[in-house]
Structure 1
């Protein structure tokens, strides 16, 4: 079955799409310098750059996995699986996990392969490595838990029955002693030891008259403060929910397909047309919106203190004020779109492009 995301993105790139306006000259209000760069090989899968302490874990489509020192760019270790990768990277500092395009979960320790297990299907969501276990969610929303030392399958749960799902990573993260997964338009809390359900929060409901329009899914890239989580439902809504109370705090209609970022005051996200919105975290009211980057296929924003880093499909990273979206600067990479959402390691911004360039920036 063709993934929905592939169909939707093809539609967005059609001839009817408006041409973006010319960019104004880059502002220079924020002094940022490139401190190191590396090359890992082409990234053509939904890479998640995993940060554990000062270590950054990255991977290429061809099967190369690396752990880099975010301070210097030095290679701590690198491994070549000899197989193409479909999902990764999951890591906890000891174990590193990816899924290959032939549906195999591969686990390494300090760069050495220690076990592999065949999955029921090819996953595109990075494995979650936590609590001595490795959790995998497949496109049909089957959740599987493995012992991280031995590879023993501990439990497996079919959590959804949707006939059409996004060809994109799902929401999967730990919250205290609970495993949280996005299943359709719901956040589901599971006992990580047994896979039994603890709670279920309906974030967004299905609408529309055909199968594609009725699709609802939660997008990776969430803003979490304690037990409160803000996130996006694909082309439907942005919402904040309380995991502690198992309820939706607020929900606002929004038409986008990337994750969100935020702090205790604001939540930031980009719409399908390239508008950047800031919602008040307390009540979901729009604090401000920016239209100067419309039609630039913006990615998930990353909040860096008082600055927002917003990537676009031309391979630029726009540095904006979180207060009003005004331009502070612009980072130019290698001309290819980002292959993963940016991450912040201490004061170092790390970005990876589809060409496989890894670039690290710090304020001067």
Structure 2
């Protein structure tokens, strides 16, 4: 088995290294552990909705969004849905009759999705009716982000585009070089006070004026140090985010970095490698490390507060913080969803979603409701149980 896996790995390496196409990493490995036991019992879903389509390689690029009483979701076959967050009932459904590659971007009155043929489409949030459809001319490999009337796009050929939200026309574009080998997918831009903060496969982070497209700054977050192309991957695939004037950025094999938003000077750096989005409460940063372990880092110093290794090898999803901020949640490749005590790192409850591997968690508010997305297209709503 080991020889087969190694042969497959190196075949993938040689095929992909000859082109700028991104590579995919397995969600679980041959050493995947059994699902760990938890002390606090089960969590039960509030509702489930099956989109009817598998997400496959599009998994992390088609993120549902929860906003204003609805969950908006799209599946690779071209259907877009608005669901009621209380019941999971379909409010509206639109069939675009094309293959979708990334989404959803959410504006005040409209949403945007992208096709695998490089098209960008805008729909009304109220009823799903198409507003416009334009050809971008490049593969869109990140979730579109809407900043007021501008749509921020990342493309596979290294472009960052500012798109007019009313017409779909290109307002500006910024070009960066693309490494010959990169990890599948791109981080979504962060909209911060009219500046788009964008992480690149080169390990650089840039700030771009959203109105003009002028690049304001460009700073290295990680540097390649390996002896081969795999070891030299330093993609910023996790979405940058900020807390109290500090910007947190994760690079594959490049660690987690905290920067001052004002000066962009380094505050701290941890060697935790991840491709998953980070999340924080008021005290700690929760990281899904590449091996599947969880790590809590002090927000101010980056010091390790605790580690949880029970999920190593289980293809663990991005984490979310649930409810008042003392509980986290993650999913795994067998469809299990775990609640994590953020003070101790212990796994306190477990439930199981339909639809295979949990490829992402999203949404979370003070009510304790959050959602999982499975690789076969099932969206499940969960609620943090009351304290015992």
| TM-score, normalised with respect to structure 1 | 0.91
2:47 to 36, 40, 43: 36
| Deviation readout 1:113-171 (Å, 9 max, x if unpaired) | 11111123211211112210111110222011111111121111113343333211323
Q: Is contact 2:208–2:217 with CA below 8 Å preserved after alignment?
A: yes
1: CA distance, partners of 2:309 / 2:43? 24
Pick one of 260, 263, 283 that aligns with 2:278. 260
The residue aligned with 1:202 is 220
Gap change, CA 1:200 and 1:51, over 3 Å in 2: farther
* Alignment check: 8 A CA contact 1:52 1:93 kept: no
Matched, 1:185 2:200: no
1:59-208 correspondence runs (5 A): 59-110=74-125, 111-183=128-200, 184-208=202-226
Q: State the match for 2:236 in structure 1.
A: 218
Q: Does 1:5 align with 2:20?
A: no
1:258 CA drift (Å): 1.7
Q: Cα 1:49–1:220, aligned 2, differ >3 Å: closer, same or farther?
A: farther
Which of 367, 375, 384 is the matching residue for 1:354? 375
Which residue among 243, 252, 258 is the counterpart of 1:234? 252
In structure 2, what is the Cα distance between the partners aligned to 1:51 and 1:224? Answer: 20
1:209, distance to aligned residue in structure 2 (A): 2.4
- Please report how far the alpha carbon of residue 24 of structure 1 lies from its aligned counterpart in structure 2 after TM superposition: 4.1
Partner of 2:329: 309
2:182 match: secondary structure: coil
Distance 1:106 1:346, change over 3 A: farther
Cα contact 1:157–1:195 (8 A) shared by 2:
yes
Which stretch of the first structure deviates more once superposed, 349-358 or 211-220?
A: 211-220
Match of 1:18 in 2: 31
Q: SS of 1:342's equivalent?
A: strand
Deviations 1:33-59 (A, max 9, x none): 422221212223122222333322111
**Are the counterparts in 1 of residues 330 and 361 from structure 2 also a CA contact under 8 Å?**
no
Asked if the contact 1:266/1:279 (under 8 Å) is kept, the reply is: yes
Deviation, 1:4, is 4.1
Aligned length: 357
Q: Give the conservation status (yes or no) of the 8 Å contact 2:317–2:359.
A: no
Q: Structure 1 residue 201: deviation in Å?
A: 3.0
Structure 2 counterpart of 1:295, from 310, 313, 319: 313
Q: Distance in 1 between matches of 2:253 and 2:85?
A: 34
* 5+ residue gaps, structure 2: 1-18
> Residue 360 of structure 2 corresponds to which residue in structure 1?
340
Cα deviations across residues 9-47 of structure 1 (Å, max 9, x unaligned)?
38x64xxx3241x33434326x74422221212223122
Report if the CA contact (8 A) 2:288-2:318 is conserved.
yes
Q: Deviations over 1:148-200 (max 9, x none)?
A: 11112111111334333321132312011211111231221111111111122
Match of 1:322 among 312, 324, 342: 342
Q: Partner residue of 1:27? A: 39
Any unmatched runs of 5+ in structure 1?
none
SS at match of 1:195: coil
How far apart in 1 are the matches of 2:347 and 2:71? 28
Shift of 1:68: 1.9
- In 1: Cα distance, 2:311 partner to 2:338 partner: 9
Superposition deviation, residue 273 in structure 1: 1.9
3-state secondary structure, aligned to 1:72: coil
User: What is the TM-score normalised by the length of structure 2?
Assistant: 0.86
> RMSD of the TM alignment (CA)?
2.0
